[in-house]
Amino acid sequence: MHPVIATVLQRLALGILTLFVVSLIIFSSIEFLPGDFGEAILGQAALPETVAAFRKELGLDLPMYQRYLDWVGNVMTGDLGNSFSGRGSSGGADRSRPVIDLIAPRLANTLFLASMAAIISVPLALFLGITAALYRGSIYDRLVNALTLTTISFPEFFVAYILILIFSSFLKFFPSLANIDPTTDFWVRVHLTALPAITLMLVIIAHMMRMTRAAIINLMASPYIEMADLKGVSKSQIIIHHALPNAWAPIVNVIAFNLAYLVVGVVVVEVVFVYPGVGQLMVDAVTTRDVPVVQACAMIFALTYILLNLFADIISIITNPRLLHPR
């Protein structure tokens, strides 16, 4: 087998293994719930029978491996279980909703926000990072460096509130609350989502720019770049012909890492702007200890994260000349 294919398959297998372990961890979160959580969820007044029935519904009477298999099977078919909230003892009626119904519309919103931030920030950050690396030590480099260092030091909510203060409170360009719903028209949606997206962009650009700069500087320090210089190859040709073919792996890694970072940043930003996304749902669920919802959200975030890293690794593998041209 060609080493590239072998390595990619190996990496895929590792990805699946990771996913398995991660799912196991997320699944077992329900195991660690304190014994009285039934009362906590159903209310103090819940009858012992109700609590027992609830435990049974969760399958806590079955052996763990069987519940895991059931859970995985359900997740695969899109059944993420029912949320805990709405199971209040008042009236006894179960008004809990399937987790999937809670998540699906919000996932679309989160993806909309994240892709809006990513589409603009990735090219911009790469441009800034590469130019800063090439003009290393210049005023431009120092300025960009100081600015981005400051930005990455700011908590996301600080950036968000500064933007709100300027663009919403004073300039009134954008609303401070991004309360969209499925009927919102695309351009209105863009307008409403502008501030959260800009917040994310600022943070991502700062991180990505610094990492790109570091990766390019590292690359430009390779002896073969000096060799090209000593061969009289022009600066632009050195970059295009000598640096770029070897830059894919580091650059893709930087992008993947930062898109993964987006996953985290989105949680805080959604809460600040009361944006109806998965992040906010997860935070609410954590506060109410609504474990099925937390599990589902964690699974979605982890999956995105793992897939992004997997993707970056595969790009690194298929652009590695040592693997492409085996001995």
Partner 1 sequence: MNTKNRGEKGDILLEMKDIVIDGYSDDRWHEIIKGVDLTLRRGEVMGLIGESGAGKSTLGLASMGFARPGCRITSGSIMFDGIDLMKASEAEKRKLRGSRIAYVAQSAAASFNPSHKLIEQAVEATVRHGITPEQEAKSDAKKLFADLQLPNPDNIGDRYPHQVSGGQLQRVMTAMAMSSRPDLIIFDEPTTALDVTTQVEVLASMRQIVEQYHTAAIYITHDLAVVAQMADVIKVLRYGETVENADTRTMLSNPEKEYTQSLWSVRSIEKDEEESKDIILKIENVDAGYGGGIKVLDKVSIDVPRGHTVAVVGESGSGKSTAARVITGLLPPSKGRVLFNGQPLPLALKDRGIEQLKKIQMIYQSADTAMNPRHTVRDVIGRPLEFYLGLKGKALDKRLLELLELIELDETFVDRLPAEMSGGQKQRVCIARALAAEPELIICDEVTSALDQIVQKGILSLLLRLQKELGITYIFITHDIATVKAISDQIVVMFQGGVVEQGMKSEILSPPFPDYTKLLLSSVPEMDPDWLTGLLKERSEEQTSV
Partner 2 sequence: MSAGEESYSAAGEVSLIKARRTFAENLWRGLKSAPPTALFGMAVISTYMLFAIFAPLLAPYGEAEIFPMSYAPWSDEFMFGTDQLGRDVLSRLIYGARNTIGIAVATTFLAFLIGGCLGIAAAISQNWLDHLLSRSVDVLMAIPSLIFALMLLSMFGSSATNLIIIIAILDSTRVFRITRAVSLNVVVMDYVEAAKLRGEGLGWIMRKEILPNIMPPLVAEFGLRFCFVFLTIAALSFLGVGIQPPTADWGSMVRETAGLIQFAEYDITAALTPMLPAAAIALLTVAVNFVVDWFLHKTSGLKD
Residues that bind partner 1 (CB under 8 A): 221-224, 226-234, 237, 241-242, 245-246, 321-322, 325, 327
Cβ at position 248, least distance to partner 1 in Å:
10
Separation of alpha carbons 204 and 198, rounded Å: 10
Q: Which does 10 bind (CB under 5 to 8 A by kind): partner 2, partner 1, none?
A: none
Question: 198-237: buried (b, 16+ CB within 10 Å) or exposed (e) per residue?
Answer: bbbbbbbbbbbbbbbbebbeebbeeeebeebeeeebeeee
Ranges assigned E (strand) in 204-309: none
Separation of alpha carbons 135 and 76, rounded Å: 50
Nearer to partner 2, 249 or 297 (CB): 297
Q: Which does 297 bind (CB under 5 to 8 A by kind): partner 1, partner 2, none?
A: partner 2
Selected range binding partner 2 among 105-113, 178-186, 225-233, 279-287, rule: CB under 8 A? 279-287
Cβ at position 162, least distance to partner 2 in Å:
7
Selected range binding partner 2 among 105-113, 114-122, 226-234, 261-269, rule: CB under 8 A? 261-269
N residues, the chain: 327
Nearer to partner 2, 72 or 302 (CB): 302
Separation of alpha carbons 178 and 176, rounded Å: 7
Q: For residues 219-258, which are near partner 2 according to CB under 8 A?
A: none
Tokens 């997997």 belong to: 310
Question: 286-321: buried (b, 16+ CB within 10 Å) or exposed (e) per residue?
Answer: eeeebbbbbbbbbbbbbebbbebbbebbbbbbebbe
Q: For residues 172-201, which are near partner 2 according to CB under 8 A?
A: 176
Cβ at position 302, least distance to partner 2 in Å:
5
- Please report whether residue 281 would count as binding partner 2 according to CB under 8 A: no
Amino acid in the structure at residue 320: N
- Tokens for 253, please give them: 């890694």
Contacts of 204 (CB under 8 A, 6+ apart): 117, 118, 121, 125, 258, 261, 262, 265
Q: Which does 164 bind (CB under 5 to 8 A by kind): partner 1, partner 2, none?
A: partner 2
Q: Which does 227 bind (CB under 5 to 8 A by kind): partner 1, partner 2, none?
A: partner 1
Contact 268, 110 (CB under 8 A): no
Separation of alpha carbons 291 and 124, rounded Å: 39
- Please report whether residue 144 would count as binding partner 2 according to CB under 8 A: no
CA distances in angstroms from 203 to 61, 217, 302, 313, listed in the order given = 46, 22, 20, 24
- Please report whether residue 149 would count as binding partner 2 according to CB under 8 A: yes
Q: Which does 223 bind (CB under 5 to 8 A by kind): partner 1, partner 2, none?
A: partner 1
- The residue from 46, 85, 156, 258 that contacts partner 2 (CB under 8 A) is 156
Q: For residues 17-46, which are near partner 2 according to CB under 8 A?
A: 18-19, 21-22, 25-26, 29, 32-33
Where does this chain bind partner 2 (CB under 8 A)?
A: 18-19, 21-22, 25-26, 29, 32-33, 136-137, 146, 149-150, 152-158, 161-162, 164-165, 169-170, 176, 260-261, 263-264, 267-268, 271-272, 282-283, 285-287, 289-291, 294-295, 297-298, 301-302, 305-306, 309
